[in-house]
C-alpha cells in the first residue's frame, strides 16, 4: 500500500495521505481535553467586553481581542480584513395596541435591526398569519397602508409542507405588498423578545419592524377575529457608515499551499445580551481550534485559514466581503472547502453540503470514534441559508462542519434574545466542538484527494432549486439566474 494507509471498519472507507492521522488525532484529543481555552476565553470576553455588535465600540474590542489571542498562540500571519458597513443600533421604542384611540395599552417590544432611524406610525393591524407569500396573494391589497402581524415561525394548524422564511424575508414581503409597518411575534414562551435583522440587504428598511412576545401576539390574533385593532409604533435608532474587520489567521500548507480550507465562525453578536451562544460558542471554538494547530505544530498538506467574521447578524456582511475580495483577486479558486461553526455545540458527527464527501468525512470520524465512542460518526448532507457558509456555497464551494450536536441548557429559546448570556454555556460541549472539528479540519486539509470541486453555475442553480432555496434567495435579491 506504499505511503497510503487504509482505515478499515468492515470495508475500506478512505485512503489517508499517510499513516499519521490516528497519532495526530490522538494528540489533538489529548491537547484539547487538557488545555482547551475556548470556555475560559469566552467567559473573559463576555465579562469584560459584553456583546459584540458590529460597528460598536464593543465590536471593535472583540475584533482586537481575537487578533491578539491568535498572535499570542504563535500565528505570524494574522491580519484584519476591513470592510465598510451601514451600522445600526437601537434607541427608543414604544408600541401601543388597542381597539380605538381611547383604549390602547403599551406592549413590551424591541426593534428589529435596520428598522428606520425614526418612525412614528399609526395604523390598522392586519393578521397575515405566517407572513409567507401565499398569505398575501389571496388578497394582495389587504395589507396596503396597514400594519402586518406575522408569526416568526409556522403557526400550529397550518397546512403541511410549508417552508418558513427568515424574518428579513417576511419583512421584505410585507414591504412588497405595501405594509406601513410589521409586528413579528416570537415563537418562544414566557414573553422572551428577540432581535435580528429585518433587512435582506443589510441596509435600512423603509418601515418600522418590531418583535413582541409570543403570548402578546397570540392574544392579539384572537382579538383581531372579532374587533379591529390599531397599533402605534414610535421608535428611534441610530445608523451610519462604519468600518468593521474580519480577523484572519493563516497556516500555510506543507505540500499544497495554494489549496485552502477556510474555517470560520461569526464573532459578532446582537446587543440584547452578550451573545454567548450566538455565536460565542462557535467563534471561540474556532479560535481554540487555531490554538490547537499551533500548539501541536500541525501542518497539513493544504493551507488552513481561520476566519472570525463580523457583520453576520446584519446580513452576512463579513463573509460576503471575504468572498467578494477572493473573486476580485482571483483567489476564490484556491478555496477547496469552507467549514462553518455557528452556534455549534457538542457535535457527534459531521455535515456537508455535498454527499460526495461522505466517505472522506466518515473516515475522519472513524478515527475520532475510535478515540472516544461518544462520537457517533453520523453524517448529514444538506444545504441551507443565513450563516457565513452561504456566500461560499453560492460560489459553488463545498461547505460543512459539525453535525449531530445540540444546544446546552435549553438555550435555543434565547436565540437573538435578552437571555443569551454566559450562564447557558457548557464547557464540555465547547471542548467537544474543538477536538472533533480540529480533527475534521486536519483530515480535510491533509487528505490525498478532496472528492468535490467547485460547482458550475448550472450545478449551483440545480442544487438550490432541489433544496427549495430559490424563493428565499429571490426575495433577498440573491438569485442571479435568469429563468
Which of these, 422, 303, 473, 450, lies nearest to 38 by C-alpha position?
422
Residue 292: helix, strand or coil by DSSP? helix
Return the C-alpha torsion angle 457, 476, 214, 55, nearest 10.
Answer: 110
Give the separation between CA 311 and CA 255, rounded to whole angstroms: 34
Give the separation between CA 200 and CA 472, rounded to whole angstroms: 10
Give the separation between CA 375 and CA 421, rounded to whole angstroms: 27
The enclosing H or E element of 136 equals helix 133-137
pLDDT of residue 3: 35
In DSSP terms, 290 is beta-bridged to none
Q: Could you identify the residue written with the cell 477536538?
A: 435
Which of these, 185, 60, 83, lies nearest to 128 by C-alpha position?
185
Residue 208 C-alpha cell reads as 418600522
Which of these, 114, 152, 121, 103, lies nearest to 231 by C-alpha position?
121
Low-confidence ranges of the chain (pLDDT < 50): 1-15
Checking phi first, is residue 304 left (phi over 0); if not, alpha (psi -120 to 50) or beta? beta
Residue 424: helix, strand or coil by DSSP? helix
pLDDT of residue 16: 58
User: Which residues lie closer than 8 Å to 45 by C-beta, 6 or more apart?
Assistant: 52, 62, 65, 280, 284
The Cα-based distances of 149 to 170, 181, 192, 216, 239 in angstroms read: 11, 9, 17, 11, 26
Domain boundaries, the chain: 21-77+252-452, 88-239
User: Which residues lie closer than 8 Å to 329 by C-beta, 6 or more apart?
Assistant: none
CA 48: distance to chain centroid? 24
Q: Enter the DSSP assignment of 449.
A: -
Rounded to two decimals, the pTM is: 0.94
DSSP-derived pairing of the beta strands 181-185 and 209-212: parallel
Contact at 8 Å (CB) between 464 and 470?
yes
Question: What angle is formed at CA 389 by the lines to CA 199 and CA 410, rounded to 5 degrees?
Answer: 75
Q: Which class does domain 21-77+252-452 fall in?
A: alpha beta
Q: Could you identify the residue written with the cell 418612525?
A: 119
Contact at 8 Å (CB) between 69 and 288?
no
Q: Enter the DSSP assignment of 312.
A: S
Question: What angle is formed at CA 436 by the lines to CA 404 and CA 353, rounded to 5 degrees?
Answer: 55
The answer as to CATH 3.30.70.260 being correct for domain 88-239 is no
Backbone phi and psi for residue 211, each to the nearest 5 degrees, phi listed first: -115, 135
Q: What is the CA radius of gyration of the chain?
A: 23
CA 238: distance to chain centroid? 24
Residue 91 C-alpha cell reads as 434607541
Residue 77 C-alpha cell reads as 500571519
Amino acid at each position: 500500500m506504499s505511503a497510503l494507509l487504509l482505515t478499515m471498519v468492515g470495508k475500506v472507507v478512505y485512503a489517508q495521505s499517510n499513516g499519521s492521522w490516528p497519532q495526530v488525532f490522538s494528540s489533538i484529543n489529548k491537547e484539547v481535553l487538557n488545555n482547551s481555552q475556548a470556555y475560559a476565553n469566552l467567559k473573559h470576553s463576555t465579562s469584560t467586553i459584553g456583546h459584540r455588535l458590529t460597528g460598536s465600540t464593543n465590536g471593535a474590542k472583540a475584533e482586537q481581542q481575537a487578533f491578539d489571542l491568535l498572535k499570542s498562540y504563535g500565528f505570524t500571519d494574522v491580519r484584519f480584513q476591513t470592510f465598510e458597513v451601514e451600522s445600526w443600533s437601537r434607541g427608543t421604542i414604544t408600541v401601543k395596541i388597542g381597539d380605538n384611540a381611547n383604549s390602547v395599552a403599551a406592549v413590551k417590544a424591541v426593534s428589529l435591526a435596520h428598522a428606520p432611524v425614526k418612525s412614528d406610525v399609526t395604523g390598522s393591524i392586519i393578521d397575515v398569519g405566517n407572513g409567507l407569500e401565499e398569505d398575501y396573494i389571496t388578497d394582495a391589497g389587504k395589507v396596503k397602508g396597514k400594519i402586518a402581524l406575522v408569526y416568526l415561525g409556522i403557526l400550529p394548524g397550518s397546512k403541511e409542507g410549508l417552508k418558513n422564511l427568515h424574518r428579513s424575508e417576511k419583512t421584505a414581503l410585507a414591504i412588497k405588498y405595501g405594509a406601513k409597518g410589521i409586528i413579528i411575534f416570537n415563537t418562544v414562551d414566557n414573553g422572551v423578545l428577540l432581535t435580528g435583522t429585518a433587512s435582506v440587504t443589510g441596509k435600512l428598511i423603509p418601515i418600522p419592524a418590531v418583535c413582541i412576545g409570543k403570548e402578546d401576539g397570540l392574544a392579539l390574533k384572537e382579538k383581531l377575529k372579532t374587533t379591529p385593532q390599531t397599533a402605534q409604533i414610535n421608535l428611534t435608532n441610530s445608523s451610519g457608515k462604519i468600518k468593521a474587520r474580519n480577523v484572519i489567521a493563516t497556516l500555510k500548507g506543507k505540500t499544497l499551499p495554494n489549496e485552502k480550507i477556510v474555517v470560520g465562525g461569526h464573532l459578532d453578536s446582537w446587543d440584547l445580551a452578550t451573545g454567548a451562544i450566538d455565536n460565542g460558542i462557535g467563534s471561540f471554538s474556532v479560535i481554540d481550534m487555531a490554538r490547537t494547530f499551533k500548539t501541536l505544530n500541525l501542518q497539513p498538506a493544504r493551507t488552513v485559514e481561520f476566519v472570525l467574521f463580523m457583520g453576520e447578524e446584519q446580513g452576512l456582511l463579513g463573509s460576503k466581503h471575504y468572498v467578494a475580495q477572493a473573486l476580485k483577486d482571483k483567489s476564490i479558486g484556491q478555496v477547496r472547502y469552507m467549514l462553518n461553526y455557528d452556534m455549534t455545540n457538542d457535535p457527534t458527527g459531521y455535515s456537508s453540503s455535498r454527499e460526495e464527501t461522505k466517505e472522506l468525512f466518515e473516515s475522519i470520524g472513524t478515527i475520532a470514534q475510535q478515540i472516544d465512542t461518544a462520537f457517533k460518526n453520523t453524517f448529514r448532507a444538506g444545504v441551507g441559508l443565513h450563516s457565513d457558509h452561504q456566500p461560499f456555497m453560492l460560489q459553488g464551494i463545498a461547505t460543512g462542519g459539525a453535525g449531530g450536536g445540540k444546544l446546552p441548557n435549553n438555550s435555543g429559546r434565547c436565540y437573538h434574545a435578552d437571555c443569551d448570556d454566559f450562564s447557558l454555556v457548557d464547557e464540555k460541549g465547547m471542548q467537544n466542538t474543538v477536538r472533533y472539528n480540529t480533527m475534521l479540519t486536519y483530515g480535510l486539509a491533509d487528505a490525498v484527494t478532496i472528492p468535490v470541486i467547485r460547482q458550475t453555475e448550472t450545478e449551483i442553480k440545480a442544487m438550490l432549486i432541489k433544496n427549495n432555496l430559490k424563493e428565499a434567495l429571490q426575495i433577498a435579491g440573491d438569485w442571479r439566474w435568469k429563468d
